[in-house]
Structure 1
């Protein structure tokens, strides 16, 4: 088992350095929910199906992430507050390659 560190800035602007396991098939949205970094019911509303964009985040560091799926791309095309570095947290799974990833949660729609 290898744990990684993620640097997550919540919607109030507070940065949290969290430890996340890579052996549980978790994604970033689930880490945010488990650490309660967003109010209940405001993130992961669709359960991680790339259908709501409530887990949209801005990637602030240079780790190589998996390529965006067509579903994720389509959801972000309809979402508010998107930027060039927007991704859905539910579509980024925890792997050793993203150790040190820095993200900022997008504002609520």
Structure 2
């Protein structure tokens, strides 16, 4: 099963293992990763699971969909590598994925 590394704004790393097909958000919640709230339950209706994809992983993770892009436009801390973790599916090729949490998400 793939391992995902969440790095908080303060530099603390939380490494978790997730089942393929699960959302990165649900894996974070199951493992009590701070800063991944997922208030909408993972239906892309909020931005409380906002992450920054490490540049080394951007191509493998892929880009935002239209609904995700629309939700993120409301974020004052939007970056080119911003994603909603509810919209990233855990896959074997993402083993070792590094995601950074924005400031204020803890």
Question: Could you tell me the TM-score, scaled by structure 2's length?
Answer: 0.85
Q: Aligned residue pairs: how many?
A: 103
**Is 1:60 matched with 2:54?**
yes
Do the aligned partners of 1:7 and 1:103 also contact (CA within 8 Å) in 2? yes
**Is 1:107 matched with 2:103?**
yes
Quick check: which one's helix share is greater? Answer: 2
- Selected match of 1:46 from 40, 50, 61: 40
Q: Tell me the distance in 1 between the aligned counterparts of 2:39 and 2:103.
A: 15
- Poorly superposed stretches of 4+, deviation over 3 Å: none
CA RMSD after TM alignment: 1.8
**Is 1:82 matched with 2:71?**
no
Secondary structure of the residue aligned to 1:102 is: strand
Q: Tell me the distance in 2 between the aligned counterparts of 1:108 and 1:45.
A: 16
- The one-character-per-residue Cα deviations of 1:11-47 (angstroms, maximum 9, x if unpaired) are 543102222121xx311111111111126xx610011
When residues 66 and 60 of structure 1 are mapped into structure 2, their CA distance, relative to the original with a 3 A threshold, is: closer
Q: Which residue of 2 aligns with 1:15?
A: 13
When residues 17 and 61 of structure 1 are mapped into structure 2, their CA distance, relative to the original with a 3 A threshold, is: farther
Q: Which residue of 1 aligns with 2:31?
A: 35
